[in-house]
């Protein structure tokens, strides 16, 4: 593929217009890219269903009624606000320190936890596993010329998905 082709010559997804220059992109017979065909739309269940889930889980709770995974961004901060101030759930905030977390993110989490009077736990691998996985992925992708979809976040995604389970254990020490 020549990189200096005229933009009109670049093949694009007929649905989302992503160009053929995106690493790992493929097109089906209708010209729709693999990112569009692989997309699974989330089904919004509504507030009534959320209320029902919360009431059901509240009855089952032993130590915490809610675990809130926190990144320090707006979405998780709002989730903590909803859990503590709107639904009045006994909550524990948890953060996976993926070794790339900024001081600002940590400060945001601490301030949100103070403001909502919430226990906070942060977890980090003792062996810097996220950094090692990211370095390994980057090396592999560089050696292949970025021909496949980059996935240097694989280590982080494992941590983000598993840490809330650790945080639900009552004997886990909080910071």
Q: Under the rule (CB under 5 A), what is the footprint of Zn ion?
A: 13, 15-16, 33, 36
- Cβ 145 to Zn ion, closest distance in Å? 23
Partnered with residue 33 across adjacent β-strands are 27
Q: Do residues 83 and 91 make contact, with C-beta atoms less than 8 angstroms apart?
A: yes
- Cβ 99 to Zn ion, closest distance in Å? 33
Nearer to Zn ion, 36 or 105 (CB): 36
Nearer to Zn ion, 15 or 90 (CB): 15
Partnered with residue 108 across adjacent β-strands are none
Task: Name the one residue in this structure whose structure tokens are 């670049």.
Answer: 10
Cα distance between residue 82 and residue 70, in whole Å: 13
Nearer to Zn ion, 13 or 68 (CB): 13
- Cβ 50 to Zn ion, closest distance in Å? 31
Indicate the DSSP class of residue 3: T
């Amino acid at each position: 593929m020549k990189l200096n082709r005229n933009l009109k010559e670049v093949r694009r997804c007929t649905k989302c217009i992503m160009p053929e220059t995106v690493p790992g992109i493929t097109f089906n017979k209708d010209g729709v890219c693999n990112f569009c065909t692989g997309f699974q739309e989330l089904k919004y269940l509504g507030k009534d269903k959320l209320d029902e889930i919360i009431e059901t889980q509240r009855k089952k709770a032993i130590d915490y009624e809610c675990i809130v995974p926190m990144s320090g961004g707006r979405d998780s901060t709002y989730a903590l606000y909803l859990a503590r101030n709107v639904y009045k759930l006994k909550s524990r905030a948890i953060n996976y320190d993926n070794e790339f977390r900024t001081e600002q993110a940590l400060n945001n989490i601490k301030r949100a936890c103070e403001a909502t009077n919430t226990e906070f736990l942060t977890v980090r691998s003792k062996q810097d596993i996220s950094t090692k996985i990211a370095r390994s992925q980057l090396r592999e992708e560089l050696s292949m010329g970025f021909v496949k979809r980059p996935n240097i976040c694989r280590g982080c995604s494992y941590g983000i998905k598993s840490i809330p389970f650790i945080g639900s254990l009552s004997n886990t020490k909080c910071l």
